Structure 1
Amino acid sequence: MAKKQKAWIHVGMPGAGDVVEPALAHHHAALVELGVASLARSSAESFRAAVEITRSHKDWGLKRADVEGQWTRLVRRARKSRCDVVFSQPLLATATAEQVALLVDALAGYQVNVVLTTGLDDESAALARWQTACRKPERLHVLETDGLDPGQVWKAFGRLVGFGTASLGLDGLPGASATLQTLPEALREVERLARRNASLEVRLEELDRKRRKLKRRLSSAA
């Protein structure tokens, strides 16, 4: 029997674990070479998928149509790689049990593993909701980040999933600065701004699509 591919879902509480999402997107191509495909290739993609799953589009000033079907599209695209897949987005920590079930439904055929990184908030409620995503208790992992800087968290996460991070640096990535670890309020602000920036990226993509569509119409009418 062929070995079942794994799907790794990272659920991070606000804190050092926030570095996982941008690092996965930034190193997408290199990770595929290592046998791991990041479902999202940009923070905007992962944000849009998490907003769809958590039904929080209105909270971010988006329309349902802006995010509809994003999660399924990412999973379908990643399946073509025939690699293990991985996804990370801090908004998943707020997902309800029903939303967790919907996310897992799209991963039919994968062995689902969940990694929860601790942070500034109590993770017990999120842990209880996400443990239902794993059929076996050993597939639920809790990565304690107390005393770890983002680089150490990234290395520990890679070790769990099964890839090395020695050549996958964090230079220039948001949330990779260790100096923020002692400033909880600053970390919360960084997270808020990162989510807002991703929301703006989604809007800009939609405006660009409409601009190109209008340009084609004008050209055909000329």
Structure 2
Amino acid sequence: MAKKPKAWIHVGMPGAGDVIELALAHHHAALVELGVTCLAVTPAESFRAAVEMTRSHKDWGLKRGDVEGQWSRLVRRGRKSRGDVVFSQSLLASATPEQVALVVDALAGYQVHVVLTTGLDDEADATARWLAACRKPERLHLIEADGLEPAQLWKAFGKVVGFGTASLRLDDVPRASATLQTLPEALREVERLARRNASLEVRLEELDRKRRKLKKRLAA
């Protein structure tokens, strides 16, 4: 029997855990060479998918149509690689058991692994919800995030998934500064601003799509 490819889902602590999502998007091309395909190649894509699956579009000032089908589109893209895939988004920490099940259902044919960075407000509950998605306890991986610098957290994540991070530096990764990682209030503010920026990016993409459509009509 052919070995199933693995799907790695990172459910991180807002703030420190966000470095993984950002680093995956920034290094997506290099990671393909290492045998891992990022389902999202921009933070806006991962944001839309997580908002869709957690049904939180109204909380971010978005319409259902802005995010509809995003998760299935990303999964279809990942399937083309015929190898392991990875996804990270801290909003998934709030997913209900039903929403977790929907996320995993789309990954049929993959061996699903979940990586939790500790420090979540409802860590025990989140662990229980995502453990059910793994089907086997050994497929749930915990990374103790407390006291780790972003580079250390990124390295630890790569070790779990199976890729080295020596050549995948964080120097050029947006918002990957270590200076705010130990301040809970600052972390919440950084997360809020990052999500707001991602929400604005979604809106700008939609406006650009409508502009191109109108331009084609006028040209016709």
Give your verdict on TM over 0.5: yes
1:104 is paired with a residue whose SS is helix
The amino acid of 1:39's aligned partner reads L
Shift of 1:177: 1.6
Deviation readout 1:143-168 (Å, 9 max, x if unpaired): 10111011000000000000000000
Which shifted more, 111-120 or 209-218? 111-120
TM-score (normalizing by structure 1): 0.96
Shift of 1:181: 2.1
2:163 is paired with a residue whose SS is coil
Is 1:3 paired with 2:13? Answer: no
Is 1:75 paired with 2:75? Answer: yes
Q: CA RMSD in A?
A: 1.0
For 1:36, the equivalent position in structure 2 comes to 36
Kept in 2, the 8 Å contact 1:24–1:38? The answer is yes
The amino acid of 1:137's aligned partner reads P
For 2:110, the equivalent position in structure 1 comes to 110
- Output the CA distance in 2 between the equivalents of 1:40 and 1:181: 24
- Output the CA distance in 2 between the equivalents of 1:184 and 1:16: 10
For 2:54, the equivalent position in structure 1 comes to 54
The amino acid of 1:31's aligned partner reads L
Shift of 1:122: 3.8
- Output the CA distance in 2 between the equivalents of 1:14 and 1:206: 27
Percent of aligned pairs sharing the same letter: 83
The amino acid of 2:145's aligned partner reads T
Query: Within 5 Å, which residues of 2 pair with 1:43-192?
Result: 43-119=43-119, 121-192=121-192
Shift of 1:120: 5.8
- Output the CA distance in 2 between the equivalents of 1:154 and 1:101: 27
Q: How many residues align?
A: 220
1:48 is paired with a residue whose SS is helix
- Output the CA distance in 2 between the equivalents of 1:175 and 1:145: 18
The amino acid of 2:201's aligned partner reads E
For 1:203, the equivalent position in structure 2 comes to 203
* Long gaps (5+) in structure 1: none
Shift of 1:175: 4.1
* Long gaps (5+) in structure 2: none
- Output the CA distance in 2 between the equivalents of 1:180 and 1:51: 25
